[in-house]
Structure 1
Amino acid sequence: MKAAFIPSSPAALLAIASVVTILCGMIALTVGQEPISLQEVWRALTQPDPHNMDHAVVQTSRLARVVVAVLVGASLAVAGGLMQALTLNPLASPGLFGINAGAMFAVVLIAPVIGAVSFSHFMLLAFVGAGATGALVYAVGMRGPARSDQARLVLAGAAISSLLFSFTQAALVINQDGLDSILFWLAGSTAGRGMNEVRLAWAPIVLGLLGSAALARHLNILVAGEAIARGLGQNVGRLRLLLSVCVILLAGTAVSLAGTVGFVGLVVPHIVRRLFPNDFRWLLPGYALFGALLLLLADLLGRIVLPPEEIPVGAMTALIGAPYFIYLTRRSGQHA
């Protein structure tokens, strides 16, 4: 049930969410070790002066951090919504595909061997590991005659993730030098990323978002039930494959860019479904906007709660998301 102050029009709600996201992004550009006024931030964006130190900070560091938060938040939220629709499981999240486990395993196992030294190298390794693991989970989960059984995908994801986490821990015991790399991914952060990393990430994220938008109408039919979808002429197997590719592109790129950021893909779809019509043509843009907004807020709070120290954004999303998810769980239990 919506609160009275929430607009009933989904278009109006999307517009409001867009404005709030932009405002949060502008505020985030002012926050750092040295505060910068909104006026100076605006000048840095519209009329940058290469000799102005504040403008350089905004252009080279803070702007990239805001863009990373928007891309990662939107990707994880949409991927989470797609996973919950794909498995018909409201507790599903992108991690169900083994994305996090595969990314960390690739970084810890391969980075010391090839001597990866830049963050771009780590990103590529993490994306390859996440993508390969997601493909493996899909292949195992959908293999056999019971292709329509979503539980197979859940079990395959849980089993392969646990296996890779165990291998990762064993690799860290053998090679202590990889500990810094794994802590880097476990914390989850938007700091230290530049526009080079954004340029590497934007193409697969945009492809995943556009692909999921193109499948929105078909997704509306799929969640009504497999029998109904087949009766209406949907190729359910191909649809699930395309949705899985979108999830892997979105979540794999997000994890490679920001590390392990939990609860965004789990909680945001629940919030959006309470505000928007049950139509993926509205839900998907809602997921993207509210996911971006949540990660921007989490990153902003992480920088101002304990100055001059920063709380990793992965910890902040857990602090924000876990209480809300507990509330949802208790509420659903009361109505059961």
Structure 2
Amino acid sequence: MSVETRATVGGGAAEPAAAPAPRRTAVTALRGAGLLVALAALILISLLSVWLGTRDIPFTSTWSVLWNPDGSQTSVIIHSYRIPRTVLGLLVGIALGLSGALMQALTRNPLADPGLLGVSLGASTGVVVAIAFLGIGTALGYVWFAFAGAALASVVVYLLGSAGRTLATPDRLVVAGAAVTAVLYAFNSAVLLLDPRAFNQFRFWTVGALAGRRMDVVWVIAPFVVTGLAVALLLAPSLNALAMGDQLGKALGVNIGRTRVLGVVSVMLLCGSATAAAGPIGFVGLVVPHVARFVVGPDQRWVMAYSMLLAPVLLIGSDVLGRVLGAPGEVQVGIVTAFIGAPLFLVLCRRRKLVML
């Protein structure tokens, strides 16, 4: 996790207690200004997402029908395709950014991403079952099965990680997640290799995309994203205490077991809904929390606030870039985020020391 050497990992304590009050106030004001800049960038990139696409529409026409739908072909494109796609990118970005920050804080692992607990593979398994055994072939049909698979995988991982008389520790959760991921990957591979039709349909979902999703998919995942977001933000102070170790966290009054259970539930809700709606999209949940910590330090309250703004900026921006570069077609967003996220992560690794406790 990208922090200064003296800082704790996964969301350490906030500003040092000895820092003068005027300095703390200035730092808080600067971080707040940064949030406003991130919000402005998100609004700008969202407008670009509504404006730019495979069909060239003048900005004046886009702006006009955005506020006054008139039933024209341009209005249908804007309101039936581009706006749902942008709103979905906003929700998926928030979900991936927050779940990534939460995973890295819970496991105190700088390389943790939202799929570490088997959530992504669980969602993929749900889609494989829906396609291969039930013949479901629409994005709205996939969502429920993908979310059910993500939820089931998260429950199994937590039960395995908490087996015995001890609480679920970060190490046990990571090992359980790796085991469940391996089993689900083997199951998916076996089913898809034996069913070419299912494989041909599944490969379009697994690349990760926002295209082709309508508002009905947005309405399905929105309650889960909002619930997961609320739980994650409420956990931020407890995660700051846990970053100093379980014993000290307990001494500070943190209920360790409850915090980890709620953290797993939040990751399941956020990552499960995002993966169900858009497919597995890599690097967003891994890279964005590191960028946030690079800007504001290890305080999880600020890391989560920045992550929930910077992640949709990266995701929607990648989606817009894929449309521009692939015109008259488009490059799927999951491919673009990999090309952007991997070099960015390498730069962060070189500039800041990644440590793991």
CA deviation map 1:88-130 (0-9, x unaligned): 0010011101112111112112333223243211111111011
Q: Distance in 2 between matches of 1:148 and 1:172?
A: 33
Structure 1 window deviating more from structure 2 (319-328 vs 74-83): it is 319-328
Q: Distance in 2 between matches of 1:298 and 1:15?
A: 21
CA deviation map 1:36-72 (0-9, x unaligned): 222222222211112x211111000000111111111
Residue 161 of structure 1, CA deviation: 0.5
Which residue type is aligned with residue 44 of structure 2?
A: L
CA deviation map 1:195-239 (0-9, x unaligned): 011010111001111111122222221222211111122110011
Q: 1:258 aligns with which of 278, 295, 301?
A: 278
Q: Distance in 2 between matches of 1:38 and 1:142?
A: 55
Structure 1 window deviating more from structure 2 (268-277 vs 146-155): it is 146-155
SS in 1 for 2:133: helix
Which residue type is aligned with residue 64 of structure 2?
A: R
Within the alignment, does 1:32 sit opposite 2:53 as a pair?
A: yes
Larger relative contact order, structure 1 or 2 (CA cutoff 8 Å, min sep 6): 2
Task: Give 1:162-241 correspondences, 5 Å limit.
Answer: 162-241=182-261
Superposition TM-score, scaled by structure 1 size: 0.93
Q: Distance in 2 between matches of 1:106 and 1:39?
A: 43
Structure 1 window deviating more from structure 2 (145-154 vs 305-314): it is 145-154
Q: Distance in 2 between matches of 1:218 and 1:324?
A: 29
Residue 22 of structure 1, CA deviation: 0.7
SS in 2 for 1:282: helix
CA deviation map 1:6-35 (0-9, x unaligned): 997111111111111111111111111222
Task: Give 1:97-112 correspondences, 5 Å limit.
Answer: 97-112=117-132
Task: Give 1:67-86 correspondences, 5 Å limit.
Answer: 67-86=87-106
Superposition TM-score, scaled by structure 2 size: 0.88
Q: Distance in 2 between matches of 1:244 and 1:334?
A: 24
> 1:150 maps to which residue?
170
Q: 1:270 to 1:118 in 2, by over 3 A?
A: same
> 1:324 maps to which residue?
344
Residue 306 of structure 1, CA deviation: 2.7
Structure 1 window deviating more from structure 2 (184-193 vs 140-149): it is 140-149
Aligned-residue sequence identity (percent) comes to 37
Q: Distance in 2 between matches of 1:259 and 1:206?
A: 19
CA deviation map 1:252-294 (0-9, x unaligned): 0000010010000100000000112432222212111000000
SS in 2 for 1:152: helix
Q: Distance in 2 between matches of 1:91 and 1:184?
A: 27
Structure 1 window deviating more from structure 2 (26-35 vs 146-155): it is 146-155
Q: 1:86 to 1:270 in 2, by over 3 A?
A: same
Which residue type is aligned with residue 33 of structure 2?
A: A
Question: Any gaps of 5 or more consecutive residues in structure 1?
Answer: none
Question: Any gaps of 5 or more consecutive residues in structure 2?
Answer: 5-26
Structure 1 window deviating more from structure 2 (20-29 vs 217-226): it is 217-226
Structure 1 window deviating more from structure 2 (212-221 vs 81-90): it is 212-221
Within the alignment, does 1:286 sit opposite 2:319 as a pair?
A: no
Residue 244 of structure 1, CA deviation: 0.7
> 1:115 maps to which residue?
135
Q: Distance in 2 between matches of 1:272 and 1:186?
A: 27
Residue 312 of structure 1, CA deviation: 1.1
> 1:141 maps to which residue?
161
Q: 1:97 to 1:227 in 2, by over 3 A?
A: same
Within the alignment, does 1:13 sit opposite 2:45 as a pair?
A: no
Q: 2:147 aligns with which of 127, 131, 135?
A: 127
Aligned Cα RMSD in Å? 2.1
